[in-house]
């Protein structure tokens, strides 16, 4: 976490940059493991920006300097969803709003909106974004326009258009968020939800 105990005006950008550095290091680690015949590992990173309780938590005998609160819980939920969407880094709309898209672009950080979700235990939907790791930037830039069309069709309940756009992307290569939209659109063509507002309820943490 950033911004405590000392104020940090670039806390959100630092968090995103640290996440990307972790993924770069992970890819190098896995490359060395493959060459040595060892197992590869995968991680997910969830980031959200907001207020938190920060300090020593516990008792007089045993405590940790840590963070607690809704912001921390949301980041944890997003980390858990990286497996669902097949990506390494998911951030909340609060993170994107805090650092601003312009600053991300100035720092050559590619991001894309991947869904609107209702997190378990919450009543307000949020937009979630992928921060694209450096090794996948070229591919995501290539498909981004089509992906945005597919995602917007999905939000509007136009399942057939979403499905066709997703299939067009999948001909170019594997993409986790596209695979999610494709599976949902195909399921909703057969059995559309009774009420649709473009928001998917996350049933797992």
**Which CB contacts under 8 angstroms, 24+ apart, belong to 159-164?**
159/185, 159/186, 159/188, 159/189, 159/192, 160/185, 160/189, 163/189
Question: What is the tens place of the pLDDT at every residue in 7-31?
Answer: 899 999 999 999 999 999 999 999 9
Q: How many other C-beta atoms can be found within 10 angstroms of the C-beta atom of residue 120?
A: 13
DSSP, collapsed to helix, strand or coil, labels residue 127 as strand
Structure token digits, residue 180: 């999610």
Considering the entire predicted model, what is its pTM?
A: 0.94
- Side-chain-side CA neighbours of residue 14 (13 Å): 9
Percent of the residues in the chain that have a pLDDT greater than 70, as a whole number:
99
Q: Angle 26-148-134 (CA atoms, 0-180°, nearest 5)?
A: 20
Structure tokens at 108: 């050559």
Contact 90, 76 (CB under 8 A): no
pLDDT in tens, 134-144: 999 999 999 99
Give the pLDDT band of residue 94 (cuts 50, 70, 90): very high
Strand partners, 55: 66
Residue in 84, 92, 86 with CA at minimum distance from that of residue 111: 92
Provide φ and ψ at 36, rounded to 5°. -90, 0
* Buried b / exposed e along 173-189 (16+ C-beta atoms within 10 A): eebbbbebbbebbeebe
Q: Is the pLDDT of residue 173 over 90?
A: yes
Residues listed for the chain: 205
Question: SS3 of 58, please?
Answer: strand
pLDDT at 123: 83
**Dist. CA 179–CA 199, nearest whole Å:** 17
Distance CA 41, CA 34 (A): 11
């Amino acid at each position: 976490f950033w911004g405590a105990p000392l104020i940090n005006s670039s806390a959100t950008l630092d968090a995103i940059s640290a996440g990307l550095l972790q993924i770069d290091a992970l890819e190098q680690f896995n490359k060395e493991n493959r060459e040595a015949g060892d197992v590869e590992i995968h991680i997910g990173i969830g980031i959200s920006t907001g207020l938190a309780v920060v300090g020593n938590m516990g008792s007089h005998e045993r405590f940790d300097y840590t963070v607690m609160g809704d912001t921390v819980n949301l980041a944890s939920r997003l980390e858990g969803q990286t497996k669902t969407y097949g990506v390494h880094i998911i951030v909340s709309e609060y993170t994107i709003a805090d650092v601003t898209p312009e600053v991300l672009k100035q720092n050559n950080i590619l991001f894309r909106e991947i869904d609107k979700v209702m997190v378990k235990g919450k009543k307000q939907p949020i937009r979630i974004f992928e921060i694209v790791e450096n090794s996948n930037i070229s591919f995501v830039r290539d498909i981004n326009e089509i992906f945005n069309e597919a995602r917007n069709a999905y939000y509007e309940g136009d399942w057939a258009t979403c499905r066709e756009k997703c299939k067009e992307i999948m001909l170019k290569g594997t993409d986790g968020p596209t695979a999610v939209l494709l599976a949902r659109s195909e399921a909703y063509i057969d059995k559309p939800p009774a009420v649709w507002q473009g928001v998917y309820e996350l049933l797992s943490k």
